[in-house]
Amino acid sequence: MYRMLLAGLFLAATLTARAGMVDALDHGVKGDGVTDDTAAIQAALDAAQAAGGGVVQLASGHYRLEGTLRVPGGVTLEGVFRVPPTNRHDGYDALNGTVLLAYAGRGEAEGEPLLRLAGSMAALRGLTVTYPEWRQEDVPPVPYPPTVLAEHCDNPAVLDCLFLNSYEAIRFDVAGRFLVRNVYGYPSWRGLSVDECYDIGRVENVHFWPFGVTYQVGDPYCEWVNVNGVAFEFNRTDWQYVMNTFCFGYGVGYKFSERDAGGCNGNFVGLGADSCRRAVLVEQAQPPGLLITNGEFVGRWGSVDSIPLEITEEVDGKVSLVNCSFWGPIDRCIWMHAPKASLSVSSSHFVHWDNNAKDRPAIQIDSGKAIIQGNTFVEDKLNIVVGEDVRSAIILANQASRELRVENHAGVRTQLLANEVDTFVLSDAAKAHYRVDVGAPDDGRYGRNWHGGEKGGEWPDGGTKRWTKGNPVFTLPVLPGKAYTLMLDLYIPGYAVDGENAVLLGDEVIARLPEEAGPCVVEVVVPAREEDSVEVALRVKAWVPAEVQGGADTRSIGLGIRGLTMRAEGAPGTVYSANTGKPLDE
C-alpha cells in the first residue's frame, strides 16, 4: 500500500512537471530539412496557447520553414541548447542541435518576420536560425525581414540562440522589460534594434562576430558589413541595461539614435567593439545620459578614418565614459561636435591614434562641454584639441608619455590643472654633444611632422627610424654662443630623390640632400645663436607607398631618419643620448 502511494505521488509529480510541455513531434513536425515544418510547428504553438501557455519543444533536427511563425504570449519555442551555439565555416548541413532553416521573405526587408513574438512573455530559447540561400558572394547582402520581432507586448525574451546569417536578427518595438541573453551570430545589416522599450530592457552576453563567414578585411561582403552594418542600435528607452556584449567587423558597433519618440538613456557595462569604423556613434541621447563603463574599442582593420566614439551635432544629452580603452587603427579616439551636449571621460586608456599621421589628437572637442580627467595617453602625439566653440573644458590630472599635449583654442573657457608635464632636462654637458635616436622612446620632444617609430631595416646595422611626412621640423637644444655641426643619419628611397630636397634654417637653405638613393649621412654647420634652441627643417619630396609599390600603405612619406647628432664647436668626445640624458657608453 505504501509503495502504491509513492508510485501515485511520483506519477502526479511527473504529470505536473510535464504540464504545459508540448512536443512538436506530436503535431507532425519532421525536422528532416526537407519537409516544410511551418504549419506543424505553428499548430504546436497554438496548442500551447490553448492550454494556457507552455513550452513547445523541438528536438535536434533541421526544421525547414517556408513560412513564418507566431509565438503566442506565454509560450516558449524551445530547442536543445542551454548555451549560445556557435558555428564557423562548415555550412548549414554541419549544424547540430535544433536548427531552423529560413526560406521565407527573401528580398523583403520589411516583410513579416520569421519569428514574431506575438504576446507578452513570448520567448525563444536554444535555437539556431540560418538562411540556406545566403551566399557570401552576394554583395550587397540580399535583404530579409527581421528574424525575430516583438512589438506592442511586454516581457519577450530571446535566450541561448544563434542567428547565423540573418540580415536583421532582432527588433524590439514597444516591448517593455525585454530580455536578450546569450545570443550569438553575424547579422549583416543590423543585429539588435530597440525602440520605445520602456521599464528597463536588458541585453546580456550578446556576441556578434563572423560566425559562418570566412572573414577577410578586403572581402567584398566583409567590407560591406564593415561599412554599412550596425551591431546594436538603441533608440527610445527608459532605462536600458546592456552588459558584457561584443561585436566585430561592423560599420557601427553601438548606435544611439532617435526615432519619433526620442533617444536612449541607460547603463552600458563591458562593451566591446573590434574592427568597427565607429565603435560607438551617438546621434542622440536623453538628458539622463549614456553611462558607458569598461569599454574596449578598436578601429576598423586597414582603415584610416576610424573613430571609436563620435558624438554628432544633434546630441543634447550627456555621454559619460569610465575605464575604457582605445587601440588599433584609429584616426581620433573621441570626436565631440555637439554644441548642446556634455561629455565626460575618466580613468580611460588611449593606446593608439593618428594612424594616418595627420596630427590628429586622441580627443577632439569641437563644441559643447567636456571634462577629461584621470586618463592615460601612451603615444607621444598630440593628446587633446579644444575647439574655439567649446563652452567649457576641464582637463584635469591626466598622464601622457612625456607631457600632456593640449591644443587649446577656447582660451579661458579651458581649465588645465595637474596634468603631466615634461620634467626632463638635458645637462649643459649633454647639450654640447648628443645624439637623438629617432624611432626610439622619448624622441618626440625633438621633432614633429614624422610618422611613428619602426625598425630601421634600410640600414645594414638596423636600429630604429621614422618616415618623414610633409616637411619635418627639429627643435634642437644648443649652448648659446656656440656653433654646431649637425649630422643627419638618413635613408633616401628612390621615390624621394629630388634636386630640391634640402636642409633649412628658417627660410635659408643651408645644405642640399644627396640626389641618389640609399643610406647617407648629411653634415651641415649650424651657426652660433643667442637662444638655447634652434629649429632645423627638411624639405623632402613626398610619395605614397600604395601608389608606387602597391599594398595598403596610403601614408604620404618622404625619407627615413634614423638619428641626428649635434656637436658644439670644441666639445669633448663624450656623446650623450638626448633620449635618456646619459652618455651613450653607459
Is residue 5 assigned to a domain?
no
Query: Of the residues 423, 439, 455, which one is the last residue of a structural domain?
Result: 423
Establish if 248 belongs to a structural domain: yes
The answer as to whether 363 is a domain residue is: yes
pLDDT of 92 reads 66
Contact 443, 401 (CB under 8 A): no
What's the distance, CA 434 to chain centroid? 41
Residue 318 has pLDDT above 50, yes or no: yes
d(CA 578, CA 120): 70
Q: 463 and 381, same structural domain?
A: no
Rounded to whole angstroms, the Cα distance separating 504 from 508 reads 5
The whole-angstrom separation of Cα 526 and Cα 217 is 49
Whether the per-residue pLDDT at 2 is higher than 60: the answer is no
Identify the domain boundary among 423, 455, 473. Answer: 423
Shared domain check, 461 and 367: no
Strand 98-102 to strand 128-130: parallel, antiparallel, or no bridges (unpaired)?
parallel
How many domains, the chain?
Answer: 3
- State the CATH number of the domain containing residue 324: 2.160.20.10
The confidence score (pLDDT) of residue 585 equals: 84
| 157 sits in which H/E element | strand 157-163
CB neighbours (10 Å) of residue 202?
14
Asked whether residue 3 is assigned to any structural domain, the reply reads no
In this prediction, residues 54-82 reach a mean pLDDT of 97
Please say which residue of 228, 254, 285 terminates a domain.
228
| Weakest-pLDDT range from 14-18, 200-204, 343-347 | 14-18
Residues 143, 224 within the same domain: yes
Residue in the block written with cell 582660451: 411
Tell me whether the omega of the peptide bond preceding residue 140 falls within 30 degrees of 0, making it cis: yes
Candidates 584, 581, 586, 330; CA nearest to 443 is 581
- pLDDT for 89 equals 60
Look at residue 44 and give its three-state secondary structure: helix
Rounded to an integer, the average pLDDT of 417-441 is 95
Do residues 215 and 222 lie in contact, with contact meaning Cβ atoms separated by under 8 Å? yes
Sign for the pseudo-dihedral over CA of 174, 267, 229, 311: positive
The cell numbers describing 495, all together, are: 621615390
Q: Strands 128-130 and 433-437, how do they pair?
A: unpaired
pLDDT > 60? residue 104: yes
Q: Is residue 438 part of a domain?
A: yes
The pLDDT, as a whole number, for residue 357 is 74
Beta-bridge partners for 579: none
Supply the pLDDT for residue 6. Answer: 41
245 has pLDDT over 50: yes
Regarding whether 111 and 241 lie in a shared domain, the answer is: no
Q: What are phi and psi of 574, to 5 degrees?
A: -65, 125
Domain match, 398 and 433 both: no
What percent of the chain shows pLDDT beyond 90? Answer: 87
pLDDT at position 538, please?
A: 97
Residues 268 and 379 in one domain: yes
* Confidence at 16, pLDDT banded by 50, 70, 90: very low
Identify the CATH number of the domain in which residue 470 sits.
2.60.120
Residue type at position 271: L
Tell me the residue ranges of DSSP E strands in 240-351. 240-248, 252-256, 266-276, 278-282, 290-293, 296-299, 309-311, 318-322, 325-327, 334-336, 342-346, 349-350
- Which DSSP letter does residue 449 get? E
Q: Which of 270, 145, 147, 266 is nearest to 207 (CA)?
A: 270
What's the pLDDT at 86?
86
Cβ proximity of 114 and 81 under 8 Å? no
Task: Report how far residue 426's alpha carbon sits from residue 421's, in angstroms, rounded to the nearest whole number.
Answer: 15
What are the DSSP E strand ranges found in 106-189?
Answer: 115-117, 123-125, 128-130, 148-154, 157-163, 168-176, 179-185
pLDDT of residue 356: 80
Q: How many CA atoms lie within 13 A of 137 on its CB side?
A: 1
Residue 402 confidence (pLDDT): 87
pLDDT number for residue 88: 65
d(CA 354, CA 305): 9
Quickly count: other Cβ atoms within 10 Å of residue 205's Cβ.
Answer: 17
177 and 303 fall within a common domain: no
Residue 92 neighbours by CB distance under 10 Å = 18
Alpha carbon distance 278, 188 (integer Å): 16
Query: From residue 319, how far is each of 72, 344, 369, 372 by CA, in Å?
Result: 38, 7, 11, 12
Residue 585 lies in a domain: no
Closest by CA position to 249, among listed 280, 281, 217: 217
Q: Residues 355-359: what's their mean pLDDT?
A: 80
The strand pairing partners of 200, in sequence order, are: none
pLDDT at 7: 45
Per-residue confidence (pLDDT) for residue 496, from 0 to 100: 96
Q: Is the pLDDT of residue 399 over 90?
A: yes
Task: Tell me: do 367 and 451 sit in the same domain.
Answer: no
Q: Give the mean model confidence (pLDDT) for residues 467-472.
A: 90
Bridge partners (DSSP) listed for residue 368: 390
Chain-wide mean pLDDT for the chain?
Answer: 93
Domain residues for 262? 231-423
Q: Are residues 76 and 197 in the same domain?
A: yes
Q: Which residue has the higher pLDDT, 452 or 319?
A: 319
Q: Is residue 583 part of a domain?
A: no
pLDDT band of residue 197 (cuts 50, 70, 90) is: very high
504 and 388 both lie in a single domain: no
Average of per-residue pLDDT across 477-490:
97
The CA distance from 220 to 162, in Å, is 24
402, 461: one domain: no
If you average pLDDT over residues 221-244, what whole number do you get?
96
293 close to 319: Cβ distance less than 8 angstroms: no
206 lies in the same domain as 245: no
Give CA–CA dist 101/131, Å, rounded.
Answer: 6
